[in-house]
Structure 1
Amino acid sequence: MGAKKKNVPPTTMSSLNKREKKAASTIATKLTDGASDEFEFGGSIGATLLMTGFPLLMWYMWIGATYYDGNLPYPESNQSWLEFGQHLCQLVYLGAYPTAKAWAIYWAFFIVEAAMYCYMPGVSNYGRPLRHEGGKKLPYYCSAYTSFYATLAIAAALHITGLFPLYTLIDDFGPIMTVAILSGFINSFIVYFQAIVRGRTHRLTGYPIYDFFMGAELNPRIGILDFKMFYEFETYGYVSPEVIFLAAAHFLYTNACAKAEQMIITSWDMYFEKLGFLLTFWNMAGVPFTYCHCALYLANHNPSEYRWNPFALTLLSAVYIFMYWMWDSANGQKNAFRHKEKGQLMKRNTFPQVPWQSIDNPKTIKTDAGDQILVDGWFAIIRKPNYVPDMFFSMAWGLITGFK
């Protein structure tokens, strides 16, 4: 439905960006759903660099965590940059080759999660009206909360019975990560070309590299399985307090995403952003295999190397709990406000239910466009109450690895 620039002659990469910027203003007048009048991420050149840089960065970080004791890899004094690059490639080949076992682990997990999406107990709701579909609202099935706990139960059972010890994920981290990288590319190609074949493209610019990166279809789905919704969440004989802290922190974050799944269906991501390489790759590979590097560091080091003072760790934990409450309740206030506006607020008995998650008769400011902005609750105290805790979480996950 979006405007498509046809018959684009061959051009160099340097001139492509200039032509994209020139075409942007023309394209923007024809697009719907509030499209920007500028190409994002530097157009085709930026998209190409990011698609190349994403996997290289992931392998580089993995090499640093695995072979350089968590430090940044760099050439030795007697090593040229070419020799250094060859050395890194050799490490990837030796330690991160995509084995058949890694393919089986990764895709078994995804197939099981897709089945849970469709068949686990959940709730249904509708997204925002789509202008290019004549105001149609797509239905969404939200089962992430029950699927999350079912996944934990299955993982525990597999570990206890010895069928699949969870430390396998650490032992085979490199191969599984490479499988995730390749799967991200493969799935992106499938999503892009099937949209073209089925005639379901939306807001194409006519620049294939950029369109592949940003996506061709808005809401690819099979039955009730909406793919964009689907992508959107023993060594020492004891568990160290730092590992417990990190596991609890990651549990709270993941659990919060699952328990409030029904709140994201009216978000900008679901309403506007298409499913392309950007969302597909980062949800299938980038997020799970980069956000876990603090856990990877703890798994690869003796607790004596990152041990915290007990009082300092207690203080960090207390601040973390407060920040979690701010993050959970602020997001709850914002989402409850938006859903109340549309008469779609749905209350679920999920864990944990923190205080101050919604506000009755909140104070608002009316914008020039006629929309209402929430200026009550946390949003009357701090400008970005949902982002400040997020930044603290990232800092805390890094701090827990110690100071060596």
Structure 2
Amino acid sequence: MSPRPSPPAKRAFKRTPPNPKPEYEFLGPPGAVGMFIALPLITYGLYFNCREGFGCPPAFWDSKDGFWPSISANPTAYPVDLFNFFLSTWDMAAFQVYSAFILFLFVCYFVVPGPVVEGAVVGGVGGSPLTKDRSKYTLKYKVNSLRTLMLIAAIIIATLVTKGVKPFLFLHTHFIGLITASLVWTFSVAIFVYIWSFLPDSNGQEKILAIGGNTGNMIYDFVLGRELNPRFSASPDSTFDIKYFIELRPGLIGWILLNFGFACQQYSELGRITNSMAAVLLFETFYVVDSFWNEAAVLTTMDITTDGFGFMLANGLLTWLPMNYSLQARYLAAYPVDMSILHCFIVLGVQCIGYHIFRSANGQKDTFRRYGAEAPQNKGLKYMETASGSKLLISGWWGTARHINYFGDWLMALAWSLPCGLATPIPYFYPIYFAVLLIHRELRDEEKCRKKYGKDWDKYCEIVRWRIIPYIY
């Protein structure tokens, strides 16, 4: 009787050592600690500084009460003990609803049909050889977020017809609990992917880490993220990517659902929806639908191709986006505004101009990348060739500014706040924050391009002088 053959020996698992000279971003470890603490507190602060029954600061500075007068006018409304504060905001019903929402989206990802597309070439360090090159590879993704949103819309319509707006008032009355629930999920996901990044994949090999995600500083790596594409399988045919799943679905869909809940609250109080609330719902819903319609475009963004997935992205997508971007609708639910005809035209004009710049600029860049300069739709566009073989547009939208799409994106953000009027700066938090975010993103992209193109980038910058806003910045 022949002896049983020995199983093939597995490759020894060796972990990639930390980068010897890490290049920190976001001010390094101190900045990571700051984000870890400040981001949740800002989200809570926006709630406590603008809520029904407690007022909303009429100005940044008041001659009597000083900075943000609503705080000094009622200091007992702002807890100091963070642990007791967290306990006071805990809401089991809100946690169950938020968790059911995430689980529903997870199931929809697999159940709702959608095409599978190949993403852009991404690169990291270490990891399984998903392609011939260990550090450059492509992954597959399932595109079905728009169909998921359509399913949710059908459920909402059926609920409205059978039960009215009452079930959706939960989102307004339990909002503070939903913030806490989202943060529990944020920390849980961030801790999971951090630990997961140290474990070998199904082939017994180390995970592919983001470049700059392996500094050896635990706090920094936890916040910025270690693994580039956290997945449950190393197979290139698998489609469920944790970062990609969270990138679009919970934040953007949650944002629209919260907006709708606040609109229902206004309707229950006033018996109608103001034109300002209708404008906010229309513009922001259109933005989300447009993002889902062009879902595959997210696969070329820095979030997917470059950044690791850690606390920063988890918080931004699970908590920051839905809870803070819905601020305008929440404000209008408590402080209704009826816009004049002139006010309506201003808001509509800013929105349309912003969308035209944003979508046409991105469309021009996308068709140039797909079809090249010889395609009929790209006729007349000028470009310069770089030593790396890439072609950079120097005419059309991209001849006016190097990141002209950011300007259009920001104008739309401003249009979402303008319906709230000028009684308080609080609803303008998003365009203010977004301006800072876009400038920082532009600086990061500039640094990346300068490393990639070298002297060719300097030449390009001489031709296209402006960064975001022509003749201004």
Q: Would you say same fold, with TM above 0.5?
A: yes
CA drift at 1:92:
5.0
Q: 1:212 maps to which residue? A: 222
Q: 1:58 maps to which residue? A: 43
Matched, 1:149 2:166: no
Residue from 302, 327, 332 that aligns with 2:363: 332
Which residue identity does 2:95 align to in structure 1?
W
Q: Answer yes or no: is the 8 Å Cα contact 1:63–1:88 preserved in 2.
A: no
CA drift at 1:90:
10
Q: Answer yes or no: is the 8 Å Cα contact 1:204–1:211 preserved in 2.
A: yes
Q: Can you list the C-alpha shifts for 1:254-309, whole angstroms capped at 9, x where unaligned?
A: 111101111221333211111111111110101111111111100112x3xx3222
Which residue identity does 1:52 align to in structure 2?
I
Could you tell me how far apart the structure 2 residues matched to 1:263 and 1:284 are?
20
Could you tell me how far apart the structure 1 residues matched to 2:149 and 2:227 are?
27
Q: 1:108 maps to which residue? A: 100
Could you tell me how far apart the structure 2 residues matched to 1:395 and 1:118 are?
36
- Give the 5 Å matches for 1:62-81: 62-66=47-51, 68-71=54-57, 72=68, 75-76=71-72
Report percent identity of matched pairs.
25
Q: 2:247 maps to which residue? A: 232
Q: 1:273 maps to which residue? A: 307
Q: Which runs of 5+ in 2 are unaligned?
A: 1-13, 58-67, 201-205, 233-237, 249-266, 424-473
Q: Comparing 224-233 with 178-187, which one deviates more in the overlay?
A: 224-233
Could you tell me how far apart the structure 1 residues matched to 2:92 and 2:69 are?
28
Q: 1:4 maps to which residue? A: 17
Matched, 1:162 2:169: no
Residue from 296, 310, 334 that aligns with 2:330: 296
Could you tell me how far apart the structure 1 residues matched to 2:86 and 2:311 are?
24
Could you tell me how far apart the structure 1 residues matched to 2:367 and 2:74 are?
60
Q: 1:241 maps to which residue? A: 275
Which residue identity does 1:126 align to in structure 2?
E
Q: Which runs of 5+ in 1 are unaligned?
A: 6-23, 29-37, 346-355
Q: Comparing 96-105 with 271-280, which one deviates more in the overlay?
A: 96-105
Q: 1:181 to 1:63 in 2, by over 3 A?
A: same
Could you tell me how far apart the structure 2 residues matched to 1:91 and 1:313 are?
44
Could you tell me how far apart the structure 1 residues matched to 2:74 and 2:122 are?
60
Q: 1:78 to 1:287 in 2, by over 3 A?
A: closer
CA drift at 1:78:
9.5
- Give the 5 Å matches for 1:354-365: 359=378, 362-365=381-384
Matched, 1:86 2:82: no
Matched, 1:48 2:48: no
Which residue identity does 2:346 align to in structure 1?
L
Which residue identity does 2:394 align to in structure 1?
V
Q: Answer yes or no: is the 8 Å Cα contact 2:116–2:143 preserved in 1.
A: yes
Residue from 207, 213, 231 that aligns with 1:200: 207
Q: Can you list the C-alpha shifts for 1:81-134, whole angstroms capped at 9, x where unaligned?
A: xx675368699568x622221111111111111222223232222123344541
Q: 2:231 maps to which residue? A: 221
Q: Can you list the C-alpha shifts for 1:332-351, whole angstroms capped at 9, x where unaligned?
A: 2223333446xxx9xxxxxx
Q: Answer yes or no: is the 8 Å Cα contact 1:122–1:142 preserved in 2.
A: yes
Matched, 1:399 2:418: yes
Q: 1:78 to 1:158 in 2, by over 3 A?
A: closer
What is the number of equivalent residue pairs in this alignment?
355
Could you tell me how far apart the structure 2 residues matched to 1:294 and 1:45 are?
32
Residue from 379, 382, 390 that aligns with 2:398: 379
Q: Answer yes or no: is the 8 Å Cα contact 2:276–2:339 preserved in 1.
A: yes
Q: 1:99 to 1:140 in 2, by over 3 A?
A: same
Q: Answer yes or no: is the 8 Å Cα contact 1:63–1:73 preserved in 2.
A: no
Q: Comparing 259-268 with 366-375, which one deviates more in the overlay?
A: 366-375
Which residue identity does 2:152 align to in structure 1?
T
Q: 1:118 maps to which residue? A: 110
Matched, 1:263 2:255: no
CA drift at 1:2:
8.9
Q: 1:388 maps to which residue? A: 407
Could you tell me how far apart the structure 1 residues matched to 2:283 and 2:15 are?
42
Q: 2:121 maps to which residue? A: 129
Could you tell me how far apart the structure 1 residues matched to 2:358 and 2:92 are?
40
CA drift at 1:326:
2.0
Q: Can you list the C-alpha shifts for 1:9-42, whole angstroms capped at 9, x where unaligned?
A: xxxxxxxxxxxxxxx7x436xxxxxxxxx30112
CA drift at 1:380:
3.0
Could you tell me how far apart the structure 2 residues matched to 1:313 and 1:102 are?
35
Q: Answer yes or no: is the 8 Å Cα contact 1:242–1:400 preserved in 2.
A: yes
Could you tell me how far apart the structure 2 residues matched to 1:124 and 1:340 are?
21
Residue from 185, 188, 194 that aligns with 1:186: 188
Q: 1:231 to 1:335 in 2, by over 3 A?
A: farther
Q: Can you list the C-alpha shifts for 1:212-245, whole angstroms capped at 9, x where unaligned?
A: 1111211112442211111223221211111111
Q: 1:89 to 1:299 in 2, by over 3 A?
A: farther
Q: Answer yes or no: is the 8 Å Cα contact 2:347–2:419 preserved in 1.
A: no
- Using structure 2 for the length normalisation, give the TM-score: 0.68
Q: Can you list the C-alpha shifts for 1:310-338, whole angstroms capped at 9, x where unaligned?
A: 22212321331232122122122223333
Could you tell me how far apart the structure 1 residues matched to 2:90 and 2:288 are?
27
Could you tell me how far apart the structure 1 residues matched to 2:117 and 2:328 are?
36
Q: Comparing 111-120 with 65-74, which one deviates more in the overlay?
A: 65-74
Could you tell me how far apart the structure 2 residues matched to 1:45 and 1:89 are?
21
Q: 1:323 maps to which residue? A: 354
Q: SS in structure 1 opposite 2:292? A: helix
Q: SS in structure 2 opposite 1:197? A: coil
